[in-house]
């Protein structure tokens, strides 16, 4: 469990330092056998101490800690319940990702890393946060996805390690940023599906993907 808390602390700080969240926004969790450990409600992610992370039983949703878990705990629980391979869940509000997706557009592939590493992204329309309605919408798609972009809200990424989930978050935001900037300059040139598929089949990209799954 100490390793899990160390990882959660590390990436909580990175979310703030990389400006993927503001104030008390965003939340993250990791699986520890039958429980998940999640950020407490109302805390700035950099202010969370080692004993503040809240254990919640994945099957029952019972909270075992003294603090209240993140208000998005139901969304995290559904991720872990619907895919046993998921060990880490991140939810952030990256500026460019929210901006692009709120127009109704998807974030397009414009450079190799994005389609090569992130193969399965879902987009869902706005649903009021912290509700069972949002958790249910996430539950319907998360079993086969690496990320969910929630329009006018934020992004969820998952992984077999927190390193993997965090990389996906960075990659989505970078892709959205490149697209948004390119739109101000001219007509963006989007990679074709054939070009994306060729990238996904590169052995070098498979190797990089495997590395992300190791702590």
φ/ψ bin of 126: left (φ > 0), alpha (ψ from -120 to 50), beta (otherwise):
beta
Are 53 and 38 contacting, i.e. CB atoms less than 8 angstroms apart?
yes
Write down the pLDDT at residue 66.
Answer: 87
Which residues on adjacent β-strands are paired with residue 122? 148
Cα distances (Å, whole numbers) of residue 58 to 22, 148, 186: 27, 20, 48
Say yes or no to pLDDT of 204 above 80.
no
Least trusted range by pLDDT, from 8-22, 77-91, 193-207: 193-207
Domains of the chain: 2-212 (3.40.225.10)
What mean pLDDT value characterizes the chain? Answer: 93
Average pLDDT over residues 140-164: 96
Catalytic (active site) residue 193: no
Whole-angstrom distance, CA of residue 50 vs CA of residue 13: 13
Write down the pLDDT at residue 24.
Answer: 79
Say yes or no to pLDDT of 205 above 90.
no
φ/ψ bin of 191: left (φ > 0), alpha (ψ from -120 to 50), beta (otherwise):
beta
Write down the pLDDT at residue 201.
Answer: 85
- In three-state form (DSSP H/G/I as H, E/B as E, the rest C), the secondary structure along the chain is CHHHHHHHHHHHHHHHHCCCCCCCCCEEEEEECCEEEECECCCCHHHCCHHHCEEEECCCCCECCCCCECCCHHHHHHHHHHCCCCCEEEEECCHHHHHHHCCCCCCCCCCCHHHHHCCCEEEECCCCCCCHHHHHHHHHHHHHCCEEEECCCEEEEEECCHHHHHHHHHHHHHHHHHHHHHHHHCCCCCCCHHHHHHHHCCHHHHHHHHHHCCC
Write down the pLDDT at residue 209.
Answer: 66
pLDDT in tens, 29-39: 999 999 999 99
Per annotation, catalytic residue among 7, 72, 74, 164: 72
Average pLDDT over residues 136-144: 95
């Amino acid at each position: 469990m100490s390793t899990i808390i160390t990882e959660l602390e590390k990436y909580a700080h990175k979310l703030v330092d990389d400006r993927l969240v503001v104030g008390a926004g965003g939340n993250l969790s990791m699986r520890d056998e039958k429980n998940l450990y999640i950020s407490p409600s109302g805390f700035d992610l950099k202010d969370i101490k080692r004993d503040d992370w809240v254990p919640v039983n994945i099957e029952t949703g019972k909270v075992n800690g003294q603090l209240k878990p993140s208000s998005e705990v139901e969304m995290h629980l559904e991720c872990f319940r619907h895919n046993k391979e998921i060990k880490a869940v991140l939810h952030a509000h990256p500026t460019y990702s929210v901006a692009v997706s709120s127009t109704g557009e998807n974030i397009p592939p414009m450079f190799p890393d994005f389609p090569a590493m992130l193969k399965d992204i879902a987009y869902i329309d706005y649903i009021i946060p912290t509700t069972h309605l949002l958790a249910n919408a996430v539950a319907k798609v998360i079993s086969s996805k690496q990320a969910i972009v929630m329009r006018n809200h934020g992004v969820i990424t998952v992984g077999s390690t927190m390193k993997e989930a965090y990389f996906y978050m960075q990659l989505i935001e970078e892709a959205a940023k490149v697209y948004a900037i390119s739109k101000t300059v001219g007509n963006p040139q989007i990679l074709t599906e054939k070009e994306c598929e060729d990238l996904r089949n590169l052995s070098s990209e498979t190797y990089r993907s495997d590395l992300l799954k190791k702590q």
